[in-house]
Structure 1
Amino acid sequence: MASTLPEPVARLVAAANSGDSQGFLDTFAPEGTVDDRGRVFSGREEIQEWSDAEFIGMHVTLDVTAEITTGEYTTFTATVGGEGFTGESHFSFTVEDDLVQQMTITA
């Protein structure tokens, strides 16, 4: 499937798939947030702590299987691999000024 993800989201997926923690963090706005099934992590320091424990640190891989973008909102479904949670998840993003403002993960 050819990706039409906005550049910041495409960079985030590429960074996750290559285990690039700094590249992953650099996709977020300084005040960005991650909402992982209701647990919210705000700012790059909290996002890094979460990622080190549950995302990049668990060698996550994201195989995007469906995507839609409307304005600054992007949603995709991905098959998640790695050493932590595996299976299908839904990811939603708000992008502004070429940076991810919010990433929300739901089952």
Structure 2
Amino acid sequence: MTTPDPIRRFVEATNAGDSEAFLETFTADALLTDWGRSFRGREQIARWNRTDNIGVQSHLDIVRIAPSDGACHVRIKVAGNGFNGEGDMTFTLDGDRIASLIIS
């Protein structure tokens, strides 16, 4: 499966440390859930980004991607000053933006 554009931009913005571009990958009312912690809307996602993503210099590499019940299931490798290792992300897209992201 080819990486959908919003997911590609999500990874590129994270790796570039570009918080503005990162937040633009999400819809205004997007939901991000990180191991049970929920963040709704760009303002709350920005807070998560500062503490768990770009704020800890995360670098993401897609290991594999597959469609999953109307969503995209992505196995991702993370390195940086926070979590390091592989994990799963499930993206639901709305046009050219991310409507929800579940990290598990």
- Measured after TM superposition, the shift of residue 70 of structure 1 is 5.0
Q: What is the aligned-residue RMSD (CA, Å)? A: 1.3
Which string of whole-angstrom CA distances, capped at 9 and with x for unpartnered residues, describes residues 55-106 of structure 1?
1100111111111135741111111101001011101100012110001111
Tell me the TM-score normalized by structure 2.
0.94
Letter in 1 for 2:39: F
Q: Which residue of 1 aligns with 2:32?
A: 34
Tell me the TM-score normalized by structure 1.
0.92
**Counterpart secondary structure, 2:45:** helix
Identity %: 36
Paired with 2:88 and 2:37, the residues of 1 have a C-alpha distance of 15
Structure 1: state its 5+ residue gaps.
Answer: none
CA contact (8 A) 1:34 1:102 kept: yes
Q: In the TM superposition, what are the counterparts of 1:14-53 in structure 2 within 5 Å?
A: 14-53=12-51
**Count of aligned positions:** 104
**Counterpart secondary structure, 1:23:** helix
Paired with 1:84 and 1:72, the residues of 2 have a C-alpha distance of 30
Paired with 2:41 and 2:51, the residues of 1 have a C-alpha distance of 16
- Measured after TM superposition, the shift of residue 33 of structure 1 is 1.1
Letter in 1 for 2:94: E
Letter in 2 for 1:7: D
Q: Is 1:99 the counterpart of 2:94 in the alignment?
A: no
Structure 2: state its 5+ residue gaps.
Answer: none
Q: In the TM superposition, what are the counterparts of 1:70-89 in structure 2 within 5 Å?
A: 72-89=70-87
